[in-house]
Amino acid sequence: MSPGVSPLAALNTATSPEMTEQAFTSSDISGDSFHELDPLAPDDLPETLGKDLSFLLRHNIFHPLSHIDIPSPLRFDFIVLNPGEPLSASLSVLEKLLVEGRFLIAAHFAGSILTSSLISPTDIRIIFSLFYTRLACLELSGNTALAAQESKALEDLNSAFYFIDSSLDSSEHDEKHEHISRHIVPWPLRVLAVRLQSIGFGDSRRSIAGLYELGMEARREVMKREHDDATRTIWKGRLADLGIRTVNALVEMGDLDAAKRSLESLREPTPDSDIMKLRKGLLLLRIGDVDAAEQVFGNARDSKEAALLQPLLSMSDGRYGDAADEWRSLQEDNSRTDGGLIAQNLAVCLLYTGKLDQARELLESQISANHSFGSLIFNLSTVYELCSDGASQLKGQLAGTIANQPVSGQTNLDRSNTDFKL
């Protein structure tokens, strides 16, 4: 098998008949989701915009992708474009790859579509959607460095090129909208590009500045009187998300004091959701402020998200025995859908309390139950190293077991050797 495959050489790569047949016979996949990346995007951007995105379709943007870092039982042939198929069929194949969690293969195939003759340089929505898919899949498959380099092709997303007059995408030329500019890049791509470009240009401060600029835009949108309640709710959610991302960026920079101040300054006009509270609590634990993390939920301990915080607090204090009991208590709740995550944390507590055999048995039981997400695999590989001289063989068997599991679409199937500590 070739160690690397470039989108430019896709036609020289073997196609997987099984994948292609499954993709084309699925009636549930049409490729339509690639037009739904941003719910606030205009329904139809006119061709008269004159926006030529051929600079995002250059072959030299996209790096060759490789199987070499994936254990052999988990390797899957790169999918190639069929010259006789229309764009919609290729999007269906790509969407199926995404649904199954084959992110490295999807990243390659998205690059193949972008560099093919199927794409018109003025097809703004599909180009941005495919470019976002490419970058996101690279990051999900552990190729963040490549995604960071490729994101630089977008250049300055705040340049005038990326803005249009709102009256151009509206059939009604309302005078109050005529001179309002709007961005043509989907919001998820803009947010992702902020972080990736900061990595690609080697400037962590660029990420903070980019998030603040997006935050100012979100605030302006929230305050616009012409927005209905649904649109305003979307912008409020985006603003809250940007606040959390800013704190996380500060943590990654190592500026924990600024991160804590930023987190404390986050104030929402409406109460935070339980998910948002959990994100704040986890960031405070990462910063090291256990007391502040405990206060995030206050007395609201009845939600499923809040229940996760208590054993995490115990682990942060080094009370692994207490944390193990608390994780076991959560395991008894049959209504929870995060049993694999709970079991993994329980196994970590058992490991720290010296119960290595119980930790191994628990982690292996989760693999048998098809809960094979990245951190669980990494922790089980660590346990193998601690309890056996034949750890490499056990890890290889683990890779084979995971390769034979049914596809759930919940995890990345293109796992690297790093996950298995190989």
pLDDT tens readout for residues 140-192: 998 999 999 999 999 999 998 988 875 554 444 444 444 567 888 999 999 99
The answer to whether residue 350 scores a pLDDT higher than 90 is yes
CA angle 221, 226, 229 (to 5 degrees): 75
Burial class (CB in 10 A: 0-12, 13-18, 19+), 326: buried
pLDDT digits (tens, 9 = 90+) for 390-402: 999 999 999 999 9
Alpha helix stretches (DSSP H) within 115-186: 124-140, 144-151
Query: How far is residue 13's CA from residue 297's CA, in Å, rounded to a whole number?
Result: 53
Tokens of 189: 């791509």
pLDDT level of residue 6 (50, 70, 90 thresholds):
very low
Query: Mean pLDDT, to the nearest integer, of 361-389?
Result: 91
Q: Where exactly are the structural domains of the chain? A: 1-148, 318-422
Question: What are the φ and ψ backbone dihedral angles of 164, each rounded to 5 degrees?
Answer: -135, 160
What does the pLDDT average to over 252-275? 76
Q: Which residues pair with 66 in a beta bridge?
A: 4
pLDDT over 90 at 348, yes or no? yes
CATH (residue range 318-422): 1.25.40
Contacts of 229 (CB under 8 A, 6+ apart): none
Residue 196 is predicted with a pLDDT of: 96
CA–CA dist 15, 80 (Å, integer)? 6
Closest CA to 308 of 298, 323, 291: 323
322 touches 314 (CB < 8 A) = yes
pTM for the model stands at 0.83
Predicted confidence (pLDDT) at residue 45 exceeds the cutoff of 90: no
Predicted confidence at residue 167, as pLDDT, reads: 56
- Name, in order, each residue with C-beta under 8 angstroms of 74's C-beta and a sequence gap of 6 or more: 399, 402, 403, 413, 414, 415
pLDDT 10s digits, 277-302? 778 888 888 888 888 888 876 655 56
| Rounded Cα distance, 153 and 62, in Å | 10
Q: What is the pLDDT of residue 178?
A: 45
What is the model's pLDDT at position 33? 59
pLDDT score for 374: 86
d(CA 229, CA 238): 14
Contact in structure between 151 and 211 (CB atoms under 8 Å): no
Residue 9 has pLDDT above 50, yes or no: no
Conformation bin of residue 29: beta by default, left when phi > 0, alpha when psi is -120 to 50: beta
CA atoms within 13 A on the CB side of 263: 31
Q: How far apart are alpha carbons 19 and 79 in whole angstroms?
A: 8
- Whether the Cβ atoms of residue 391 and residue 384 lie closer than 8 Å to each other: yes
- Tokens 């293109």 appear where? 414
Amino acid at 185: V
Cross-strand bridge partners of residue 165: 181
How do 65-66 and 4-5 pair as beta strands? antiparallel
Q: What share of the chain is helix, strand, coil (3-state, %, to 5)?
A: 60, 0, 35
> What is the C-alpha to C-alpha distance for residues 109 and 105, in angstroms, rounded to an integer?
6
The string of pLDDT tens digits covering residues 199-248 is: 999 888 899 999 999 999 999 989 988 888 888 989 998 998 999 899 88
Residue found under tokens 């669980």: 376
306 pLDDT exceeds 90? no
Mean pLDDT of 26-40: 56
d(CA 116, CA 111) in angstroms, rounded, equals: 9
Do 281 and 298 form a contact (C-beta atoms < 8 A)?
no
